[in-house]
Chains A and B, each alone.
Chain A
Amino acid sequence: MPFSISKDEIMETIHMVQDENLDIRTITMGVNIQDCRGENGKITGEKIYNKVVKSAGNLVKTGHDIEREYGIPIINKRISVSPVSMVGDGLPADDMIIIGRYLDKAAHEAGVNFIGGFSALVHKGFTAGDKALFEALPETLAQTGSVCASVNVGTTKAGLNMTAIAELGGIIKQTARLTKDKDGVGCAKLVVFCNAVEDNPFMAGAFHGAGEAESVINIGISGPGVVLNAVRKYPRIDLGELANVIKKSAFKITRMGELVGRVASSRLGVPFGIVDLSLAPTPSVGDSVAAILKAMGLEEVGTHGSTAALALLNDAVKKGGAMASSYVGGLSGAFIPVSEDEGMISAVTKGALSFDKLEAMTCVCSVGLDMVAVPGDTPEHTIAAIIADEAAIGMINRKTTAVRIIPAPGKEVGDWVEFGGLLGRAPVMAVNKFSSFDFIERKGRIPAPIHSLNN
């Protein structure tokens, strides 16, 4: 086949990688561990360790090879496993903690920085395994460095499990207390979902769903910097035309994900799952979703118009991306994590972005209240109520929403939490002072909405 790419196109691609931070955010290998059940935590943990290390042993090396040969950075190589509450069902909490330690060890051995799947799906109710995992969550998050946990507390089809949400308020507070010397970093590894997806490649919420194959490769793309520069080139065009510009950039970014996914899948001999079309920011300057919204014409993110601008961006990214990949999945929407995006951080410190506006913005994008630090003395019922609000948005709008909230011990509004690396730093945001105690104490289930009855 003749090579017909022009020099300008070649230079465009190189410019994207070198100056606009285009990269593949993550290659995540999902591994089924449901066959790893043993009679206690130690035996189960050992089986999981062996299987993960065997399945994902070449993941990091293959990632590095592709990175070098194709000249495109692949930032993270990660592993997700089947929800541990299912694998360890029937084991007590102490055994769940032991399994968590083995997961941590497996991640270390495979050379990945995070392993996801210390998870439970409780949208309708608790199994014994779910209860044990809940009990084990704070200790596991405190004792391990790379284990990521997630809990699904609601779906559009099942409604919301408010008993689980009430308990999670306490679990998050307890996790923060146990990791108080590191600003409550344990909470940054726990995501509470509504409508969780089974093929999400992004941490901390990744797990290998029950409907997935034995193992699978899922790709998370990145590229806020590419979209940002495209938007900046056209300061005067109308929003319909701007949507088109974003679509074209999203197409190109996603093609990189599709290519890397196909190559990784064929080299590892593992089926290719999906490309996740999320625009994922990092703390580095220029790699910011908030900066795109500003380039669209907002003085700061959080001002009036932010939700509309984000809706346009999110939708255009999906439309462009959907054409570029054979299998789109995961979360697929723009991320607006506070601590991982310099533009979001700046909006909070300038007073432009409030907690309430952030919640409103999550109605039109993925994924939810992500990496939000709140005062350490925030009551557990308030945290549960924040989760309930966010989960309700997901349930009613048939979308995934999530909460990753850090009640930073000893910190007040205006203070900072520092996690470093990809987790970044965040200013502590104010929450509503009025109590939600009696509402949360009612517990029970919020029934599924009427539009779930679509059979």
Chain B
Amino acid sequence: MEEGTRIIITVVGYDRVGIIAGIANILADAGANILDINQTILQGFFTMSMVVDVGKMSVELTDLTRNLKNKGRELGLEINVQHEDIFRFMHRI
């Protein structure tokens, strides 16, 4: 099976300064390209989903995931990294 090269990063938590910057920096350092960002704040609660191309990335996906998870802990946010196929398979035929 042909595996895609995009991942979905989701971030949920209380809004604060520097969330997007913190995450974008990690992605830039890894050579991952942000394709789309969708973000809302509902009563101070921050949710964001990000589509990222990791096809030309310079680090392993597992390392990127670990860095993002660490950042999440630092900022008090729940960060998930999942391959795009999981959403395409579940929600599209």
Q: Point out residues on A near B: beta carbons under 8 Å.
A: 3-5, 7, 9-14, 18, 65, 68-72, 252, 255-256, 258-259, 262-263, 265-266
Contact A3 B35, beta carbon cutoff 8 Å: yes
Residues of B with C-beta under 8 A to A69: 61-62, 65, 83
Is the beta-carbon distance between A14 and B36 smaller than 8 angstroms? Answer: no
Partner of B86, one of A4, A11, A70: A70
B79 to chain A, nearest CB (A): 11
A368 to B91, CA, bound (A): 33
B90 touches A256 (CB 8 A): yes
Q: A68-B62, A70-B82 are in contact. Are A13 and B3 (CB under 8 A)?
A: no
Q: Can you name 24 A-B pairs with beta carbons within 8 Å?
A: A3-B35, A3-B84, A4-B92, A5-B88, A9-B91, A11-B49, A12-B91, A13-B91, A14-B10, A14-B80, A14-B82, A69-B65, A69-B83, A70-B82, A70-B85, A71-B80, A71-B82, A252-B90, A255-B90, A256-B90, A259-B89, A263-B1, A263-B85, A265-B1
B57 at the interface (CB under 8 A from A): no
Is A11 in contact with B90, judged by CB distance below 8 angstroms? no
Bound-state Cα–Cα, A71 to B82, Å: 5
A255 to B49, CA, bound (A): 22
Determine if A11 and B89 form an interchain contact, defined as CB atoms under 8 angstroms apart. no
A13 touches B85 (CB 8 A): no
B81 at the interface (CB under 8 A from A): yes
B48 to chain A, nearest CB (A): 9
User: Is the CB–CB distance between A11 and B91 below 8 Å?
Assistant: no
Across the A-B interface, give the 9 residue pairs with the lowest CB-CB distance, nearest first. Answer: A71-B82, A262-B1, A259-B89, A255-B89, A266-B1, A5-B87, A9-B91, A70-B83, A252-B90
The answer to whether A263 touches B89 (Cβ under 8 A) is no
Q: How far is the CA of A137 from the CA of B86 in the complex (A)?
A: 42
CA distance A263 to B80 in the complex (A): 20
CB pair A68 B65 closer than 8 Å: yes
Tell me which residues across on chain A come within 8 A of B92, comparing CB atoms.
4-5
Q: List, in ascending order, chain B residues with CB within 8 A of A12's CB.
A: 91
B51 beta carbon closer than 8 Å to chain A: yes
Nearest-Cβ distance from residue A65 to partner chain B, whole angstroms:
8
Q: Decide if B47 is an interface residue (CB 8 Å cutoff).
A: yes
Please indicate the chain A residues that have their CB under 8 angstroms from the CB of B47 in the complex.
7, 11
Is A13 within 8 A of B90, CB to CB? yes
Chain B residues with Cβ below 8 Å from A255 are 89-90
Let me know if A10 and B87 touch, CB within 8 A: yes
Residues on B with beta carbons closer than 8 Å to the beta carbon of A5:
8, 84, 87-88, 91-92
Judge whether B71 is part of the interface by a CB distance below 8 angstroms: no
Whether B36 pairs with A71 at a CB distance below 8 angstroms is no
Contact with A along B28-70 (1 / 0, CB 8 A): 0000000110101000000101010000000001100100000
B87 nearest in chain A by CB position? A5
